[in-house]
Amino acid sequence: MRMAAFRGWWGLVVVGACGRVEAPVAPVQAQASARVTVAQRLTLSLPGTAGVSGSAVDAQGRLFAVAERQAFLLPLKLAGVSPGLAEAKVPIVGIPEGFDTESLAFVRPDLLAIGTETWEEGRSEDAVLLASLALGRVTVTDRLSIHYADFGLDVEDNQGLEGLCSAGETLVAALETPLESPRGRFAALFRAALAERLWQVTRLRLTTSTGKISALDCRADADGLQVIAIERHYGVAKLLLFHLPTGALPSEVEPQVVADLDALIDELPNLEGVTFAGAGQVVLLVDNDSGGITGPNEAIVVQGVWNAP
């Protein structure tokens, strides 16, 4: 599959006082998990919001999120005396009834992709919704469905497209329902160039006995996509790094565990958002609604993930 060229926000970014980010030139490499630490754990002021489930940054490096069952795009800030909403929530119009919004990606400055799931067990597909951002609202205009039967997959209710990211108008989605086999546990990964609208599939090896993928972020590198992911379940959370090459996907992808989040984070919350940030950092967002409110809305900044050569 042809990969579109892209230069922009996916480069290493440095969070500034205005919630924006800057991209240095030097490439980065994964760093041993022993050097990773929690830089900040922030309570976010998000009035009327619960269940944050996906995050992304736009072309200007501004952080946004969606909540699972609330039809708003949330502009976020992490700096200042009151981290939380950077400005007013942006309404999302046109989400089909019964669809939960699980993940988020910016395809272009004016085009978002939103990963979804439903409560229908044994369903045949889930959808990536495509939505325009203009005139102070987000409007769903199209969908790009993943037909699970095409790949021989069965999915459980309330387990859908938990991970989604985009680089150069190429989308990568991750299914939460794990694949069990004699060779181990895997997560299904799907990749499609928006211009072609054809999904390729591979499987990502999971590193724990119970974890599932809950979030992705990606950026282009010299020969494909660099992807970071959260693998989590109750009491388990790992930060994974892996590479997807340009062209045909391999049948399996082996990740590197770059952080044992379950050892780093006290009273481990449900982590459902991840974005690349600057100075070797990633930003994690917490879903605080698991059958009821479990705590505050939070962002956790993890540092030491990257080592500039």
Average pLDDT, the chain: 88
State how far the Cα of 42 lies from the Cα of 44, in Å rounded to an integer: 6
Q: Please report the pLDDT score of residue 31 as a whole number.
A: 53
CA–CA dist 165, 219 (Å, integer): 8
Over the stretch 192-222, which tens digit does the pLDDT of each residue have? 999 999 999 999 999 999 999 999 999 999 9
Measured CA to CA in angstroms, residue 140 lies from 78, 110, 125, 127, 280 at distances of: 28, 12, 18, 12, 34
Among residues 111, 42, 30, 9, which one has the least CA distance to residue 305? 30
Contacts of 171 (CB under 8 A, 6+ apart): 105, 107, 113, 128, 144, 164, 165, 190, 191, 192, 193, 194
Q: Answer for the pair 153, 189: CB distance below 8 angstroms, yes or no.
A: no
Q: Are 116 and 105 in contact (CB under 8 A)?
A: no
Cα(206)–Cα(269) distance, integer angstroms? 20
Question: What mean pLDDT do residues 100-127 have?
Answer: 95
Does 157 have pLDDT greater than 70?
yes
pLDDT for the residue 133: 97
CA 106 to chain CA centroid, Å, is: 11
Flag whether pLDDT at 66 surpasses 50.
yes
Can you give the pLDDT at residue 33?
58
215 contacts 164 by C-beta, under 8 angstroms: no
Mean pLDDT of 3-8: 26
Q: For the residues 9-30, what does the mean pLDDT come to?
A: 35
Average pLDDT value for residue range 141-160:
92
CA distance 245 to 218: 12
The pLDDT score that the predictor gives to residue 308 is 42
Model confidence at 290, pLDDT cuts 50, 70, 90, reads confident
pLDDT score at 20: 41
pLDDT of residue 279: 82
Mean pLDDT of 80-105: 97
Domain 20-307's class? mainly beta
Does residue 21 carry a pLDDT above 90?
Answer: no
Tell me what pLDDT residue 121 has: 80
Which candidate, 200, 245, 237, places its Cα nearest to that of 221? 245
